[in-house]
A and B are shown apart, each in its own frame.
Chain A
Amino acid sequence: MADITHTAPTEDRQARRINWGAVSDHAVLIAGALFMMAPLVMLIQMSTIPDAEIMQTGPSLEIGNQFWPNVKKALLGAMSFSGEDTGLSMFRSSMILGLGFAVGKIVISMLAAYAIVYFRLRFATFAFWLIFTTLLLPLEVRIVPSYEVTQKLGLLNTYGGLIIPLIASATATFFFRQFFLSVPDELVEAARIDGAGPVKFFIDILVPLSQTMIAAIFIIMFVFGWNQYLWPTMITTDESKYTLVQGIKQITQSLEGTHIPEFGRSNLLAVLAVLPPVAVVIFFQRWFVKGLTESDK
């Protein structure tokens, strides 16, 4: 109380007003962060409590001792009778899908963008339009005929059938094209004077120059591939090749029924399904944000 009498009233009011503004900013941000974080915290909290108890009371603030037993169940236990879709095997399939998609997409689209930007091609405009029309139609729209084509080619239940049709769009090609166009022409001229051919120029100059772009695109594509749901659900019926995201459906269905639903294991499988993409996004935040905002999808 003594302090207040010492300071001038106007100054005090001003100091307090600025303070309140910052407090309300933080309050909004904390509320937002809680809204985003709460579900994850809840999933993990529930997995530390015995399932029978959770079934009665639901999530709470209590921390139990069931976490590690549930982790073990989630990783090694299988969802179905075949016993082939364990957490670990689904994790492996998801990795193959995420990495295969990201790598395949980057390689194929870099080559195509290089051909379009750096070569005098008679049918360049035609190829350009052929490729960029694919930006218009997401896979979901042509899902049934895509399935039929994949089936005709005998690619059901293969990683090829899972990954290759997903690559059939031009998002990354478009992005690399924009980037290559921004590379100064003088570089090609200098390389040609020094006697470098197109292959040498690509490998020794263009690829190292694109490193940051490749990293950014890789992160976005990995997350996109890992998170695929509809396509794997249709293409993969072999349980040993199930992905985690696809397995979520089985997980949810296992929560129904008369027996005690295995919340602990299911929740941890859901956490496992978001862990790698979330880790990538957080650890490589700068590249990820750059890739997202500069590629404009």
Chain B
Amino acid sequence: MKRAGFDSRWLPVFLLMPQLAIILVFFYWPAWQALQSSFYLEDPFGFGSTFVGFENYLRLFRSSEYLRTAGFTVVFTVLVTFFALSIALLLAVKADKVLHGARTYRTLLMWVYAVAPPVAGFITLIVFNQRWGPLTEFFALFGWDFRVRLDYTDTAIAMVIASVWKQIPVNFIFFLSGLQSIPRAVREAALIDNRSASARFWTVTFPLLAPTGFFLLIINTTYALFDTFGLIDTILRNNPGDNPITLVYKVYVDGFRGQDIGGSSAQSVVLMVLVLALTIFQFRMVDRRIHYT
């Protein structure tokens, strides 16, 4: 709050009202419902529900299918985050260095930010078309018969490639602005001290980018967990079958298709706890970031 504020009794209440009303109705009410129904078992035919305590949660952690989905989600998140961050960092370092065409490169490398995830999924289906997809043909050069939606691993790889493609721009923008905020004096001092460009990168630039990197780590993790839904759903075309799915996708499938409201709610709550942990971790990193800059 400001030192010099206004004194008014009703105006601030009136100003806050729209935001608070929307949040209460569309955030706290649903969140509370998820928490509540995660302790109930709902009758599939709509004849009421019974309190079952932690049974929904226990059922979740005993289900091999759920654990498999969780395992895939972890692998998927790690791969997407790693490749999206490292490719973007490489491109940002180069884009920061070149003298000619810097603006054009920047535009060409960042426009994909605005592409909706389902469109990325649609493109994936075309480039991995069984008959003539360019990437199918590329993998065929190595004798790899690539089958998206038919083979578990191949589908997973296609999902990772598409998700990385979609996420590079955000990381690129943040890394580039991080690089550009490194003071000129620091760069010049490093240039005098060390002639090797790669040594300069690892001992000076990389540590200075670490705060940006930590922040992006969280952003990429949430992206891989939640924002890839549309991409995955488009690739699977409504029919997961034996293909890999992420935890968020499972919440949706079990809640809407399977009509397992209790189990789906329990999954929601597990994800809520996960996001909560990530956010706490993020706040700690932000604290650290202040010391860096």
Contact = CB atoms under 8 A, between A and B. Distances in A.
Nearest to A21: B197
B134 to A, nearest CB: 6
B19 A274 contact: no
B144 interface: no
B86 interface: no
A117 B1 contact: yes
A117 to B, nearest CB: 6
Contacts of A141: 226, 248, 251, 268, 271-272, 275
B134 A112 contact: no
Nearest to A26: B98
B252 A143 contact: yes
Contacts of B95: 29
Interface in A93-150: 108-109, 111-112, 114-121, 124, 127, 130-131, 134-138, 140-146, 148-150
A25 B4 CA distance: 53
Nearest to B16: A115
Interface string B234-265: 10011000000000100110011000010011
B122 A252 contact: yes
A145 B31 contact: yes
A108 B18 contact: yes
Contacts of A201: 6
A143 B233 CA distance: 15
A192 B234 contact: no
Interface string B7-48: 110011101101110110111011101100100000000000
A121 B279 CA distance: 27
Interface string A137-174: 11011111110111001000000000011011110010
A77 interface: no
B116 A273 contact: yes
Contacts of A293: 173-174, 177
B116 A145 contact: no
B6 A137 contact: no
Given A143-B252, A297-B219, A280 B279 contact: no
Contacts of A112: 15-16, 18-20
A282 B111 contact: yes
Contacts of B238: 249, 253
Given A136-B275, A227-B114, A274-B114, A165 B165 contact: no
B2 A292 contact: no
A234 B255 CA distance: 12
Given A135-B279, A140-B248, A289 B119 contact: no
Interface string A226-250: 1101100010000000000110110
B31 A142 contact: yes
Interface residues of A, number: 100
Contacts of B284: none
Interface in B140-195: 165, 168-170, 173-174, 177
B214 to A, nearest CB: 12
Nearest to A196: B6
B110 interface: yes
Contacts of B118: 229, 245-246, 248-249
A136 B229 contact: no
Contacts of B87: 32
A117 B229 CA distance: 36
Contacts of B173: 289, 292-293
Contacts of A185: 2-4
A227 B165 contact: no
A225 B31 CA distance: 22
B98 A138 contact: no
A120 B9 CA distance: 9
Given A29-B94, A112-B18, A144-B255, A292 B170 contact: yes
A58 interface: yes
A274 to B, nearest CB: 5
B23 A168 contact: yes
29 contacts: A26-B101, A28-B90, A32-B91, A32-B94, A32-B109, A115-B15, A115-B16, A119-B1, A119-B15, A127-B16, A135-B279, A144-B255, A144-B265, A145-B37, A145-B268, A149-B25, A170-B23, A185-B4, A192-B4, A197-B6, A223-B113, A227-B116, A227-B230, A248-B118, A249-B234, A267-B126, A274-B116, A277-B115, A278-B111
Which 10 residue pairs are nearest across A and B when measured between Cβ atoms?
A58-B132, A277-B114, A229-B230, A145-B30, A112-B19, A115-B15, A119-B12, A144-B255, A227-B116, A168-B26
Interface of A: 21-22, 25-26, 28-29, 32-33, 35-37, 39, 42-43, 46, 56-59, 108-109, 111-112, 114-121, 124, 127, 130-131, 134-138, 140-146, 148-150, 153, 164-165, 167-170, 173, 180-181, 185, 188-189, 192, 197-199, 201, 223, 226-227, 229-230, 234, 245-246, 248-249, 251-253, 255-256, 263, 266-267, 270, 273-274, 277-278, 280-282, 285, 289, 292-293, 296-297
